Structure formats: structure tokens, C-alpha cells
Amino acid sequence: MSLGSLKLNKGAHANFCKRFLFGIPGTFAEADSSRAAIGFYCLGALDLTELLESKTKVTERDGWREWIWEQQVRGNTVSPSSDTNQEYVGGFRPGPFMRMDEPPNLKHSDEPETDEPVVSTSDISTDPPHLIMTYTAILSLAILRDDFARLDRVGVRNLLRATQQDDGSFTATPGQGEADVRMVYTAFAICNMLDDWSAIDVEKAIIFIKSCYTYEGGFGQYAANEATGGPTYCCLASLRVVPKEYASQASLTEEQRQKTIRWLVQNQRSGGGFCGRTEKVADACYSFWCGAALKILDEGALIEERANAHFLYRCQASVGGFGKEPDDRPDPYHTYLSLASLALLRVRGDGFDESWALPRLDPLLNATEETAKWAREHLRSN
Ligand SMILES: [Zn+2]
């Protein structure tokens, strides 16, 4: 088959994602509870297509930044056994991220530079800070090149401390919600960006991650769960972002590693895409979760990158965006992850023209190398 005329339609993908930043369409009502994450996928797609500056105005970007900062909250945790010395927690809540029906709120812009974080003190018992939203808010702010002067680092550290469970896992919010490897990953990614692991028990968390390893070689969301691509990425990335002193505890045995590699490689289907579970159909998001997992294991050479790109080409919608499979409705999640996969599993030449060139991606933080560098440089605790 000739791939000579295949194009990656970056402009349409950027336009598709930009529309979500002005308001989630009614047909995507199910995305409402994770708006901060949707915002990250949209801003991430604009970052990956390198069209953020040319497709959006300064006032729009300022408005989105201010809006994200308004989601930073602080308050006391509500726990049945709460002692009076309990520390407050901070971080970011999920929220109506993309509202542009009001002029951008720039109320902080005239205030003098201060090291004191500006934090809205809402009632966090109904609206608590959330680990995944904190991770996505931080990366969104890094994409928008915010200087993080307003970040309440103490609050974020306290959130990490308050969400870690006795078995090493983390809940999404203090004392509530599921505890699984997605939360461990976001906690580890935040510690990596802050360059501060003091708030959490890393060894316990590594034991929890390893308890999610399955007989197939992939990882489940929690112990005794079926191996799936997303959790496998979360576990492998977590085991790689830890500080050097935990490296030997965090490494897999050679036998485990080989099994993981085999399972991931087998997930690449004959059509070029990856499935997330053994013998299922390919889905665009697993081109990132499984592809990045292999990259983290330094086994990217085992991936058929051109077949993967060809599958993702077919998942592109004519209106822009990627669906989970060819001819499916596009959404920001699959759009961002498809672009992230293509940034990682690079194809050029022999029919793949310059439209397929994308900036390099940091597979551990899941952001462009430039954005990841910005985040690490500006978040580092002083
Ligand atoms: Zn998917």
C-alpha cells in the first residue's frame, strides 16, 4: 500500500481541541466531571501541534491560566478520626474549566509580586482537591508557561500525605474515592516535578505498584485486576520517575521485564494499533499507553511505528480530532493521546511527510520535553 499522500491534519486537530476550551459541547456531558483533565488534553494537543501561540490569543491563554488558578483550593480534611493538629490540604479541584462566557478574570494581575500563594478558600468537604486534577492543572499551567509563583507547595505536599493509604496506594481526594495506580502515578509525577518526595512513603507505594503485576506481564489497576494498558503505563512510569535511591527497589526482575515486553508487543494488532487488554480490538489511546510503556522499558525498537501511524491516520476525523477507532466520534482524550503516541513513535520519510513532525515527548510525565522541562524547572521547591 502506498502511504504517499497521508497527512497528519494538525490544523484541524488544533481547531477541534480549541473549541472545547471555550465550552464542552452538550454531546460530551459525560466529560463534565473531569473538566480539568479535558483542558489538559486540549492544551496538550495545541502544545503537540505547536499551534498554541498561532491559534489562540494572549488574552485567551491568560484567561485559561487564571481560571486554572481559581481551582486551587485549601481547607482542612474531614476525617472521622481527625485530630486537632491535622494540617490543611491544598491542590486543584476539578471544575468548569473552559468557561469563556465571562471575560477572563485577571484579578491577580495588578497585585504586587509576592511569594505568598493566592488560594481560594472554598469548602473543600464538598469540593476537595484531587490528585489527577492537580497533576493535569500543573501540566496545563506549564504548557501556558506560568511561573508557578502562586503554587501552594505546602498544600500540595499535604494533599499527597493525606491521600496516601496504609497499603501505599493513594486515593484521588483525602479520605475518599478509589485507590489505584492512576493516583500513584499522578502522586509520583507531582513529586518528580517538585523534586520533593518527603511527603510520601515511596517504598510502600512501590510495594503497592508491584502487587498490581499480573501473570500476563501487564499491570492491573489494583492487585488481582486484569492487566490493562493504562495501568501498565502508570506503573512503569512510576517505577522510573523515583529518585535514584529507590531505583533497585523499583526495578523489575529480568523475567518480569521480559514478560511485560512480550505482553505489550502482543498488544499491537495486525491493523497497526494497540489494544489495551489481551485479544481486544485496537483503540487509539493504547497507541500511547502501550507505546510509551515500551519506550520507558527502552524497547521502542520492537514497535512497528509505521503501522501504528497508519492506524492513527485512519482514526483522524475529517472535522479534526481522533476517535478511538476509525470512523468513531473524535474526542479530546483520544486526540491528545494519538498525537502523544505519534510524538513518541516517530515516523518520517517514505510517504510520511513533514506534517508528521512533532516535538519530542517526555514519556514519563506525558508532556512535550519543553513543557516537562519548564514544569521541573519552575516547580522545584526552593
Ligand atoms: Zn481509548
Q: Compute, in angstroms, the gap from residue 283 CA to the centroid of ligand 1.
A: 5
Q: What is the mean pLDDT of the chain?
A: 89
From ligand 1's centre to the CA of 333, what distance in Å?
A: 8
Q: List the one residue out of 365, 356, 243 whose CA is nearest residue 308.
A: 356
- Could you tell me the three cell numbers for 132? 489527577
| pLDDT tens, residue by residue, 158-214 | 999 999 999 999 999 998 878 999 999 999 999 999 999 999 999 999 999 999 999
Comparing 374 with 380, the larger pLDDT belongs to 374
The Cα–Cα gap between 296 and 363 comes to 7
Q: What pLDDT, on the 0 to 100 scale, is given for residue 122?
A: 58
Report, as an integer, the average pLDDT of 110-114: 42
Mean pLDDT for the stretch of residues 338-349: 94
Q: Which residue has the cell 497499603?
A: 167
pLDDT class of 4 with cuts at 50, 70, 90: low
Which whole-number Å values give the CA distances from 127 to 78, 90, 139, 281, 316, in the listed order?
Answer: 12, 11, 21, 37, 36
- pLDDT at position 80 over 50: no
- Position 117 scores a pLDDT of 55
Ligand 1 center–CA 118 separation, angstroms? 37
Amino acid at 303: I
User: Does the pLDDT at position 381 exceed 80?
Assistant: no
From the DSSP assignment, how many helices (H) and strands (E) are in the chain?
15, 6
* Averaged pLDDT, 214-241: 97
Q: 275 alpha carbon to ligand 1 midpoint, in Å?
A: 9
**Distance, CA of 227 to CA of 220 (rounded, Å):** 4
pLDDT at 66 over 70: yes
Give mean pLDDT, residues 308-328. 97
Residue 85 has pLDDT above 60, yes or no: no
pLDDT value of position 23 = 81
Greater pLDDT, 248 or 112 = 248
CA 274 / ligand 1 centre spacing (Å): 10
User: For residues 367 and 213, what is the distance between their CA atoms, to the nearest angstrom?
Assistant: 26
Establish how many alpha carbons lie within 13 A of residue 96's alpha carbon, considering only the half-sphere containing its beta carbon.
8
The radius of gyration of the chain's CA atoms, rounded to the nearest angstrom, is 20
Cα 120 to ligand 1 centroid, rounded to whole Å: 34
> What is d(CA 237, CA 185) in angstroms, rounded to the nearest whole number?
7
Using the predicted structure, report yes or no on whether residue 221 has a pLDDT greater than 90.
yes
CA of 324 to the centre of ligand 1 (A): 5
State in Å: Cα 44 to ligand 1 middle: 17
Confidence of residue 34 (pLDDT cuts 50, 70, 90): confident
pLDDT band at 35 (very low <50, low <70, confident <90, very high): confident
Instruction: Domain 7-179: state its class.
Output: mainly alpha
DSSP class of residue 283 equals -
Distance 107 CA to ligand 1 centre (A): 38
pLDDT over threshold 80, residue 101 = no
pLDDT category, 36, cuts 50, 70, 90? confident
State in Å: Cα 5 to ligand 1 middle: 26
Question: Roughly what angle, to the nearest 10 degrees, separates helices 369-379 and 131-143?
Answer: 110
Cα 367 to averaged position of ligand 1 atoms, centre (Å): 18
pLDDT in tens, 6-31: 999 999 999 999 999 988 777 776 66
Query: Distance from the CA of 157 to the center of ligand 1, in angstroms?
Result: 31
Q: Do the Cβ atoms of 128 and 174 come closer than 8 Å?
A: yes
Ligand 1 center to residue 285 CA distance, Å? 4
Q: What is the mean pLDDT of residues 38-53?
A: 97
Q: Is the pLDDT of residue 113 over 50?
A: no
* C-alpha of residue 279 to centroid of ligand 1, in Å: 15
The reported pLDDT for the residue numbered 110 is: 36
- Per-residue pLDDT band for 106 (boundaries 50, 70, 90) equals very low
Residue 14, all three cell numbers:
488544533
d(CA 372, CA 210): 26
Distance 284 CA to ligand 1 centre (A): 6
Ligand 1 centre to CA of 116 (Å) is: 40
CA of residue 273 to ligand 1 center, whole Å: 11
Ligand 1 centroid–CA 368 distance in Å is 21
SS3 content of the chain, % helix, strand, coil (to 5): 50, 10, 45
pLDDT of residue 340: 98
> For residue 360, how far is its CA from the centre of ligand 1 (angstroms)?
22
Whole-number Å distance, alpha carbon 232 to ligand 1 midpoint, is: 14
